[in-house]
Amino acid sequence: MRLAKSKLTRQYCKDVTVSQSNYFRMAVLLFAGIQLAGCSGEAEPAAGGGGKPSPEAVPVQLETVRTADLDRTAEVVGTLYGDEEVVISAKVSGRVASIDADVGDRVPGGAVLAQIDPTDYQLEVSRQENALSEALAKLGLAELPPANFNISTISTVQRARAQAANAKAKFERAQKLFEQTPPLMSEQDYADMQTAYEVAVRDHEVAKLEAQSLLAAALSRKSELDAAKQRLADTRAVPPAVKEGRKFAVASRAVSTGEFVQTGTSLFRVVLDDVIKFRGALPERFASQVRPGQTVTLRIAGLDGPAVGTIARVSPSIDLATRTFQIEATFDNADQRLRPGAFARGTITVGQDKGVPIVPRHAVVSFAGLDKIYTAQDGEAVENVVTLGPVIEGGKWIAVPQGLKDTKEVIVEGLAKLARGVPIEVQPLTQPTTAPASRPAIEPDVQPGEANNE
């Protein structure tokens, strides 16, 4: 056992000695290589005087920055609505006898859209007319009297009044006979005459009360007759009355001829579309800038050209959930170009910015969400992060509200090789971009940030 351990110890020491010897040889070789490299570097002169070679200058072209007065706008999206939109429902139940208007028709207020079978309602009107005639006959009248009618003119009341007057005269004669000395009438006869007079007076009062009751019953019959006539009129489905010359457009129909409908069943939906309302929501940052009377320009898919209207209403409150406020703008639609229910994008002119820098659109470089424009300073490219405005003049120029203050020229060619601090060589401009008019036309369909180096 001791012999084995001794052999293992000698072998381990031998291996360590060999390993250390190998490491020593490698270190010597590495040091010799470094020394040789240093000697060769000293023997050869450094190219270009020993400094780093300068990068080649990038040829670029410059174009003058111009200015323009631009309208300051707010973008809004919303929906179109008719001036009035009404759902015509059945006011009475019954079978639909006829349909007199359909989708797309234009009808004035009060025109018949559908007719519910009126037979049962005509019979009810006749029954109420007879009931009224019966009540008037009990009063001896052919028609209802005016509100200031004197019931004393009714025949039953007149008869009771005459009877009371006759009984009074008899009583007065009997009283004279009874008061003579000696009395010319017995006490019993006198008492009978007095009672007859009092009864006649009470009959007169009762006659007046009965006449009042009959008159009230007649008025009640008249009300029931009016209600029956109204139900008969309600068998016609009609839109509400509107100003003369305006017409409703039938937007939808929900029933067919022969169908039985209940009270409240929807029959038609009509819309007054000669005036269109646009309703949309704006961020609260525009609350102090938007007010009634401002111009709104709408862009609608499928519509040739924009529609121009004015703001009519502005909500005084901010929605807590969306932090927006509602506006309503009106548009003349006599030619029916605009359709209720359509989605629209609107631009509201809220002010005007004076002297906004504008540059050729191809001078903008967009990368990683940033818009940049390069300018020249002391023979080097200067990078300017900018905020872009609307594209104008057919997309050739773009407004730059922020980032180019007091800048006279921008680089328009050679942009692909530029970065901050890159040397540049300015060359003459080969083809200047046509300058826009003093008040350029804004292209609203192109959004800021879409300009790229072309």
Structural tokens at position 14: 């031998």
pLDDT tens-digit map of 287-339: 999 999 999 999 998 888 899 999 999 999 999 999 999 999 999 999 999 99
Amino acid, single-letter form, for residue 294 = Q
The DSSP annotation for 313-377 comes to EE-SS--TTT-EEEEEEEEE-TT--S-TT-EEEEEEEEEEEEEEEEEEGGG-EEETTEEEEEEEE
The per-residue b/e assignment along 34-48, b for 16 or more CB within 10 angstroms, e otherwise, is: eeeeeeeeeeeeeee
Closest to 439 measured CA to CA, from 354, 360, 359: 354
> What distance in Å separates the CA atoms of residue 209 and residue 154, rounded to the nearest whole number?
12
Pairing of the two strands 260-261 and 295-299:
unpaired
> What distance in Å separates the CA atoms of residue 351 and residue 369, rounded to the nearest whole number?
28
- pLDDT tier for residue 43 given thresholds of 50, 70 and 90: very low
pLDDT tens-digit map of 365-407: 998 889 999 999 888 999 999 998 888 867 789 989 888 888 8
Residues 141, 142, 148, 149, Cα dihedral to 10°: -20
> What distance in Å separates the CA atoms of residue 313 and residue 99, rounded to the nearest whole number?
38
pLDDT tens-digit map of 105-159: 999 999 999 999 999 999 999 999 999 999 999 888 889 999 888 888 898 899 9
**Burial (0-12, 13-18, 19+ Cβ within 10 Å), 443:** middle
- pLDDT tier for residue 184 given thresholds of 50, 70 and 90: confident
- pLDDT tier for residue 25 given thresholds of 50, 70 and 90: low
- Is the C-alpha dihedral spanning 379, 382, 388, 389 positive or negative? negative
Name, in order, each residue with C-beta under 8 angstroms of 207's C-beta and a sequence gap of 6 or more: 156, 157, 159, 160, 161
Structural tokens at position 29: 């070789």
> What distance in Å separates the CA atoms of residue 156 and residue 199, rounded to the nearest whole number?
16
- The pLDDT assigned to 54 comes to 61
- The pLDDT assigned to 68 comes to 87
- The pLDDT assigned to 440 comes to 54
